[in-house]
Amino acid sequence: MRLNLTILAKSDKHTRYCVAAIERGGRILRLVRDDEGHALTEDQCGFRKLDNVVVEAIHAPLRHQKENYMLSELIETRKGTARIDSFTQYLQNPPFIFSDTEPWLHKEDLSNQKSTFVFVEVNDLNIYLNAEDKYKSDFIYRNQTYKGFSITDPEFKSKERKIGKAVILVSLPDAPYTRYGHELYYKFICAVYPINNQKDFAMLDCYKI
């Protein structure tokens, strides 16, 4: 299947890349290396955020990741030709980011999710180093405070900064992490797009803060 896409996220995942892309109609999908949902290698990722690409891919859904497409071939890349404000019409507005304000989702709640992506606008986004020497983020969404979210966007994951208003893409992984005696699916912020001029989306630039 040939797909025309814009890269929304190229986030770090164990020395490989978790890649999310959006179609012109607003559907968000995940490009993966194989039918088991493994992340793409460096050689497969000849693109960056907001590049327009043409790919050959095969739908390869997993039980909890229906949006997965196995990348067969990267046919064309047009560097930096997209603008994030072209996609703000597709921003979502769920009551919560995956059911609640916690930075993870319990396994028993996973089946209630329609998608493993949430694409939203947030306020007061703040990235900081916590007591465990890990970079985390807090923000406000729909007047609710969200704390302790991990960021995998390589441009933003390892530096303290107060961003303020931003568009973010949040993703659920394919497997849980056992903590506190529970199987938890962490809600990763895989892409950050700061809004520099809060009155005009046309001024939004993901490479400037």
Give a yes or no: residue 35 inside a domain: yes
Same domain, yes or no: 31 and 65: yes
Other Cβ atoms within 10 Å of 76 Cβ, number: 12
Please give the Cα distance from 108 to 122 (Å, whole number).
26
- Do 193 and 84 form a contact (C-beta atoms < 8 A)? yes
Same domain, yes or no: 74 and 91: no
Number of domains in the chain: 2
CATH number at residue 105: 2.40.50
Same domain, yes or no: 135 and 196: yes
Range of the domain at 22: 2-78
3-state secondary structure of 102: coil
Please give the Cα distance from 101 to 146 (Å, whole number).
5
Same domain, yes or no: 119 and 91: yes
Give a yes or no: residue 158 inside a domain: yes
Give a yes or no: residue 171 inside a domain: yes
Rounded to two decimals, the pTM is 0.91
* pLDDT at residue 65, rounded to an integer: 94
Per-residue pLDDT tens digits of the chain, which is 209 residues long:
999 999 999 998 878 999 999 998 999 999 999 999 999 999 999 999 999 999 999 999 998 899 999 999 999 999 988 888 889 899 999 999 999 999 999 988 998 899 999 999 999 999 999 999 999 999 999 999 999 999 999 999 999 999 999 999 999 998 899 887 889 999 999 999 999 754 433 334 433 32
Give a yes or no: residue 140 inside a domain: yes
Query: Final residue of a domain: which of 78, 105, 139?
Result: 78
- Do 32 and 66 form a contact (C-beta atoms < 8 A)? no
